[in-house]
Amino acid sequence: MKSRTDKKNNSQIYTRVSLLPILLVMAAAITPHMFRLPSWIFLWCLTGWIYSYFSPVKKSAKVFKIFISLAAVCGLMGVLLTFGRTLDRDASLGLLAVMAGLKPVEVENHRDRTVTLFLAYFLVITCLLYDTTALMTLYMFVSVFLTTSALVYINHPLKNPAGTVSGSSSRILLIKDTEFFRMSGTIMMQAIPLMVLLFFLFPRIHGSLWGSASKHSAKSGFSSILSPGGVSRIVRSDETAFRVQFTGDIPPNEQLYWRGIVFWQFNANSWRRGIRPGLPNISINCENPVEYEVVLEPHHQKWLFVLDLPVFPSSYGFILKDHTLYSGRRIRNRIQYRIKSCLAYNTGPLEFPEQTGLDLPKLGNPEARKLAEKWASESTNSWQVVLKALEHFRYENFYYTLTPERLYANPVDEFLFETQEGFCEHYASAFAFLMRAAGVPCRIVGGYQGGEKNPYANYLRVRQADAHVWNEVWIREKGWVRVDPTAAVAPERIEKGIQGALAPEELPDYLTDFDMGMLTQYLKKFGFRMDAVNTFWNSKIIAYSFHSRRALLSRLGIDSPALTGIAGPILVCIGCAFFICVLLYAWYFRKSFTKKDRVQALYLRFCKKLARIGIVRKPSQGPLDYAKMAGSLRKDLKNSIDLITDIYIKLRYSSKAGKKDFLDFSREVKKFKP
């Protein structure tokens, strides 16, 4: 009776101790998704893992299968109710997490433990669907290392946590033993050279794994409709819109107008993109050209952001007549493109499609129309009308605010003569209406203004908080000229950004500075450094493409289909070095391989002796299970079988085995006579 109790206790210890590292690995794999998944899924996983650790080893088969089936159905229904019937990345991650919470509950044997660890590998891979930063990549390497260590641990015969092999109690796992960590690190180090080689020769495929973004993921940026409050919603986000690396010096802040979309049509309440202009006028008089590279974050629209005014198109898009850079497909992934722009220019005469810059609804906003007609009658040219409008905004009681009053039937009249408070879209909309009513062609440009320089990498980071709209008027002698009415009301917006133009109580939370002395400065510098690291990682590693591979091979002298330059000698040297390494590896481990082959041959001889008396080893049986089965069938041979099995495992899997152990093993197998 005592023997059965001891066996049951040992089995309980084996299950819990072997399951504990698996549960820790699962927790490490799912931690990056802590704020992406619903809270009920984390409670689900936590409950399942706690139950699997403390549950009995042997369960009632019939009742347990019913319980697992009902739990699986409930988990699937929960995922469907939470994410809907669309199999996007969030729903797939949720379903995988539910499986990860349920799978350890049914772990009973070695196969279940292995499958559970493979599930942990899949959880680690899902991190790439959301985050490809250098820090996340490092975390994934650590998580893979831990998972591989757990896989080595559960497969190592000398690390049997039960400590019971044929009555022996000499092999109990010690927590301080780190051999499985060393083996895991060795495996990963051996895989790194192949990983690097495959990365540079076979660049990753660009494009979303799912074909579209998740419907639950946030989308920031401009839409094709501009209405009051549209831009003020965008600037509440601190997300990065794009980063810019200039070839030369960074232009001053007042010239950093990042053009994205042009609005032409006004329907009394909102502005729309309207016309689809064709190719630009090639006779643009360009001055002060600058060249730069943009790393654009996905915003799920087709327009690209460029410094005002682009002159040479990028491989990712083409320039339209309104001087915007337009892509043929929606930007659902981070892209990188180089382009050239002019800081001073003359766009030339007004062409036919651009005459829509004078269109207005026939009715609405009578007071604004009357004011514009008055300015036109008092002016001798279009530029004088522009100056009168800017003076009106500058000297009247206009107020720049993120939370203006709501406008109704005649929004331009109400803004100009009643509320007199608004954000940049209010001023740009009212200015465009006044110019068109006065007979001056005008349009609205949406994009970003300014940017934050990273002192450690000399590039600009443009945030959603830098979203801005301004105007362009057509002047006979100059073509389309940029006019920013917001600068007349709040010049601090152009000089210092949104935080310099708004009252402290109106600033979003991320722009509110909590001064903690040196700690605040340290955190800010740390943020700049991490952003610089991630920018390098994204531009050099994540953005590595087919064109990058061709450029790399070209620098090495490889120009398909022939090898030129120094490519031939380099490849020959690499091949020779690889061949020498293989020979050294084979020579160094030759004795070890020979010893293990001889050990395996003796063990197979031992198995044949047992097979002659009807004790046949199954292909799926390991040495411990086979010894246990043979000892139960032939109790008279149990001691000899256990001794041979113990020595075999030591020779096969332990680095501490010596020549004496091999001689003992050979002697015991030869004298074994069933």
β-strand partners of 225: 272
β-strand partners of 257: 449
* pLDDT the model gives residue 586: 61
Whether residue 474 contacts residue 350, with contact meaning beta carbons closer than 8 Å, is answered with yes
Tell me the Ramachandran region of residue 323: left when phi exceeds 0, alpha when psi lies from -120 to 50, beta otherwise. Answer: left
β pairing state of 479-483 and 562-563:
unpaired
Whether residue 389 contacts residue 410, with contact meaning beta carbons closer than 8 Å, is answered with no
Higher-pLDDT residue of 180 and 392 is 392
Which pLDDT band holds residue 311 (cuts at 50, 70, 90)?
A: confident
Question: Does the pLDDT value for residue 60 go beyond 70?
Answer: no
DSSP assignment of 330-358: ---S-EEEEEEEEEEEE--S--SGGGGGG
Q: Which structure tokens are listed for 326?
A: 């337009």
Whether residue 149 contacts residue 159, with contact meaning beta carbons closer than 8 Å, is answered with no
Which has the minimum average pLDDT: 65-79, 307-321, 393-407? 307-321
Question: Does the pLDDT value for residue 210 go beyond 70?
Answer: no
Domain positions in the chain are 2-201, 225-511, 547-588, 590-671
Element (H, E) at 319: strand 318-319
In tens, the pLDDT along 493-546 reads 887 777 777 777 777 766 665 556 677 778 888 888 888 888 888 777 777 766
Question: Does the pLDDT value for residue 349 go beyond 90?
Answer: no
β-strand partners of 338: 293
For the chain, the straight-line distance linking the first and the last C-alpha, in angstroms and rounded, comes to 30
Higher-pLDDT residue of 524 and 671 is 671
Question: Does the pLDDT value for residue 567 go beyond 60?
Answer: no
Question: Does the pLDDT value for residue 31 go beyond 80?
Answer: yes
SS (H, E, C) 218-265: CCCCCCCEECCCHHHHHCCCCCEEEEEEECCCCCCHHHCEEEEEEECE
Percent share of the chain, pLDDT over 70:
79
Q: Which structure tokens are listed for 132?
A: 């490809």
When the pLDDT of each residue in the chain is averaged and rounded to a whole number, the result is 81
Question: Does the pLDDT value for residue 414 go beyond 60?
Answer: yes
In tens, the pLDDT along 629-640 reads 998 988 888 999
Higher-pLDDT residue of 40 and 219 is 40
Element (H, E) at 531: helix 518-537
Which pLDDT band holds residue 354 (cuts at 50, 70, 90)?
A: confident
Closest by alpha carbon to 670, among 652, 637, 644?
644
Element (H, E) at 461: strand 459-463
* pLDDT the model gives residue 444: 95
Higher-pLDDT residue of 531 and 16 is 531
